[in-house]
Structure formats: C-alpha cells, structure tokens
C-alpha cells in the first residue's frame, strides 16, 4: 500500500507495525489482512493499544492462532492496527495513538476497539480486518464504517496468542467490504467442521424481530432502517415481532457489564497494579470501576446470565435468526465529552450488543442502511454453531443489496 495512504488513515501502529507473508497458495491467496494490536505476531511485541503494555512485554515467540490460520490460508498480513486501550472502549479514540479515520464519515469516530482494522478495510488498504469482539468491538466499527462484520459463536475460534480480556465473552472476529470476502475469511478461520450448521433453505428460516430492540431506536433512525428490514424480509420471509427481555435490555446489559468488568479485572488487574499505566479518559474510569466489582455482584449476575442464556437458546434454535439494529445510532462525532458518549452511545449500544454476547451467539452486521449520510448496520443473530450458515445468509442478502 502507498505509505502516505496508510499514514493518512492513522489505522496502523507506529511503534510496532509488522508484516508477514502468507502461504504461496490457499483459499485466501491474493487477499490481504490486518491484525488488531492484541494479536501476537512472531518476533514483534503486542502493544494492546497502550504504550505501557508495549514497554512491559516481550516479543511474541509465535503467531496468534488466528493470524497463523489466515497466513496458512494464503492471505498476506500487511500491518498491525491501532486499537482502543487494552480493548476497553467502543469509540476508537486512543489517547496515545489517536483516532483512526472513519472513511465513511471522516468527522466521526471509526468505533472500537477494533478501530484500526475497520479503518484500514473501509479505506481499501486491505481486504480483511482481523479483530476481536467482547462487548461489540467488531460489530460497532462495522456499523460505523459501513462494513460487513462478524462475531462468531463463543469458542468457535481459539484465542491462543490474544491479549487477555474477558474470556467468557471474548471472540476473534473480522470485517470486510463485501459479504463474499467475509465468508471466505470465515471458512478459513472456522473450517468446515461437522458441527457447523449447513446453510438452511430459505423457506425453513424463521426470523424474529425483538420488540425491545426496535423500541431503543429514535423515530428517524427507525425510519432509516426500515428499508433494510424490508429487504431482509423480502429475501428471507416475514419476521415475527416478539418480546425477548421482559425485564428490559438495560437489565441484560447491566448483567453483561458486571460480569465483563469482573473478568477484565481478573485478567488485567494485577498488571495494572504493578505497571501503573497511564490511561485516557473513559478507559481509566472503567478500569477503576472494574476493580470494585464484588463477589456478591458476580454471583447475582452469573445467576441472571444463566437464566438469560437458557431463554435465548430455547428461542434461537438452528434455522431461527434474530434481526435487529446492530447499534441504535450512527457513529458519534470525534471529540465528544466522555460522559456524553457513555450515556448516549455506549450504554444504549450495549443494550443491543449484549444479546449475542451473553449467550455466546454468532452475529453478522450488514451495512444495509444510512442515516444523515452515515452508515448504519442491521444484524442477524443465529444459534450457537450456526456461523457458516449465518455467513451464507449474509452473502445471499448482500447480492441483491449490492
């Protein structure tokens, strides 16, 4: 890629950027990818979005599993990309390394924490953006940047060689500009294991539209998404509007955030106390709160999660898919006050994002809508293990939408 183009996006890491050749042939030969700065790349130090992490860690002795898988499939690694600090944000604004460009809306954030990967893909600098998704770190930047983004079933792709975070929620994910490339990357990363559900025939699909997700939208956003909903229903069949969270999605989100914070502190608290890193606004406050989550709060949230997971897995069986907005708003403008972003964007987004996260379900975000000239994603959530089926359905939807 032309160095000036890459530099202009701010997508690539400066202190620890690295490239790697892929196999000479394979299903991804001729394609390129970037890797978020939480994946190990042999011979290079993983920075995890923070200069103190970079300073206190040694070069990796081997590639992360997902990086090795893409290289073995023939894709070329063309760079390591900026992420939010220790991946604990959804904006893509990194105090130390800046905010990667959102090519689809240059005055707005690209979304985090896989911000640099999204920026590089949206700018046409690479084909596949490898990232991770815990609370929404693939789905949010995909929606904000007008990309196809995929969060797989929890545990479908090994996390070997990934920086630690919240293990019961963490997933390797990826983004692409088109659904065909998204699917090709998925086939390489997921393999064709017998446990993977085949793509169902269209008449056998059941679509469910969560009423609570629709209620989260302002009227103008709902209007902007309506053509996307219609397109999906025209192709896959009518969707039934249902209630999925009698207590409200905000309660589900609170459960998610409690457990996520406790796991994050368990993974990173010791390093934070030893290294005393400097964090930017928002990130610093979240880590401080993560350290205060009590065992009692975790026990209550764990019980709630078990109940939610059981209900969702009874509802979303093979062949059944939720259709819902990826996030309730377009990307926020750059530089907004942290308090405004937390309330108006992060918390509202988590009300939708926590559905797949709590139950470990696969979700694909499709760039099917626009609002105020900016991208807005629509998502499908499938049953656990239906990853390849979901990627195939996304490709079917994308064909007439192109």
Q: Catalytic residue numbers?
A: 36, 113, 137
Under 8 Å between Cβ of 176 and 145? no
Q: What is the DSSP string of 148-201?
A: EEEE--TTSS--TTBPPS-TTT-EEEEEESSHHHHHHHHHHHHTT-TTSPPPPP
- The one-character DSSP state at 345 is I
According to the 3-state scheme, what is the secondary structure of 139-159?
A: HHHHHHHCCEEEECCCCCCCC
Q: How many whole angstroms separate alpha carbon 394 and alpha carbon 232? A: 10
**CB burial readout 155-179, b (16+ within 10 A) else e:** ebbebebbbbbbebbbbbbbbbbeb
Number of DSSP helices (H) and strands (E) in the chain, helices first: 14, 10
Class of residue 129 by CB neighbours under 10 A (exposed 0-12, middle 13-18, buried 19+) = buried
Work out the widest C-alpha separation in the chain, in whole angstroms. Answer: 57
Tokens for 370?
């626009």
Q: What are phi and psi of 320, to 5 degrees?
A: -110, 135
Under 8 Å between Cβ of 70 and 47? no
Q: Is 105 helix (H, G, I), strand (E, B) or coil?
A: coil
Strands (E), 189-253: 206-210, 239-242
Sequence-distant (6+) residues with CB within 8 A of 284 are none
Class of residue 309 by CB neighbours under 10 A (exposed 0-12, middle 13-18, buried 19+) = middle
Q: Is the dihedral of CA 33, 37, 41, 43 positive or negative?
A: positive
Under 8 Å between Cβ of 119 and 78? no
Q: How many whole angstroms separate alpha carbon 13 and alpha carbon 116? A: 8
């Amino acid at each position: 890629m032309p160095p000036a183009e890459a530099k202009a996006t701010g997508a690539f890491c400066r202190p620890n950027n690295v490239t790697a050749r892929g196999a000479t042939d394979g299903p991804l030969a001729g394609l390129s990818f970037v890797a978020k700065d939480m994946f190990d790349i042999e011979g290079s130090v993983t920075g995890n979005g923070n200069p103190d992490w970079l300073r206190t860690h040694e070069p990796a002795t081997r590639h992360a599993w997902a990086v090795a898988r893409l290289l073995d499939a023939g894709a070329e690694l063309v760079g390591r990309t900026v992420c939010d600090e220790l991946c604990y944000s959804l904006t893509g604004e990194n105090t130390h390394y800046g905010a990667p460009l959102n090519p689809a809306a240059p005055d707005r954030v690209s979304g985090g924490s896989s911000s640099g990967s999204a920026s590089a893909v949206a700018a046409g600098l690479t084909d596949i953006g490898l990232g991770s998704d815990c609370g929404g770190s693939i789905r949010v930047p995909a929606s904000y940047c007008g990309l196809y983004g995929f969060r797989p079933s929890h545990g479908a792709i090994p996390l070997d060689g990934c920086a630690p975070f919240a293990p019961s929620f963490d997933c390797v994910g990826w983004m692409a500009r088109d659904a065909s490339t998204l699917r090709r990357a998925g086939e390489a990363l997921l393999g064709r294991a017998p446990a993977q559900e085949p793509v169902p025939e269209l008449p056998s699909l059941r679509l469910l539209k969560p009423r609570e997700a629709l209620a989260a939208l302002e009227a103008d956003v709902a209007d902007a998404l309506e053509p996307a909903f219609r397109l999906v229903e025209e192709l896959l069949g009518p969707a039934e509007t249902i209630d999925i969270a009698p207590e409200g999605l905000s309660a589900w989100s609170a459960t998610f955030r409690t457990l996520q914070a406790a796991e994050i502190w368990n993974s990173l608290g010791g390093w934070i106390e030893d290294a005393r890193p400097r964090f930017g606004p928002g990130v610093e406050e979240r880590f401080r709160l993560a350290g205060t989550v009590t065992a009692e709060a975790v026990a209550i949230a764990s019980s709630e999660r078990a109940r939610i997971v059981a209900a969702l897995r009874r509802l979303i069986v093979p062949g059944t898919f939720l259709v819902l907005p990826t996030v309730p708003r377009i990307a926020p403008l750059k530089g907004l006050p942290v308090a405004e972003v937390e309330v108006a964007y992060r918390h509202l987004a988590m009300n939708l994002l926590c559905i797949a996260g709590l139950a470990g379900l696969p979700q694909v975000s499709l760039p099917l809508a626009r609002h105020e000239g900016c991208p807005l994603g629509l998502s499908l959530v499938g049953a656990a293990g239906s990853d390849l089926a979901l990627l195939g359905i996304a490709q079917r939807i994308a064909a007439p939408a192109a």
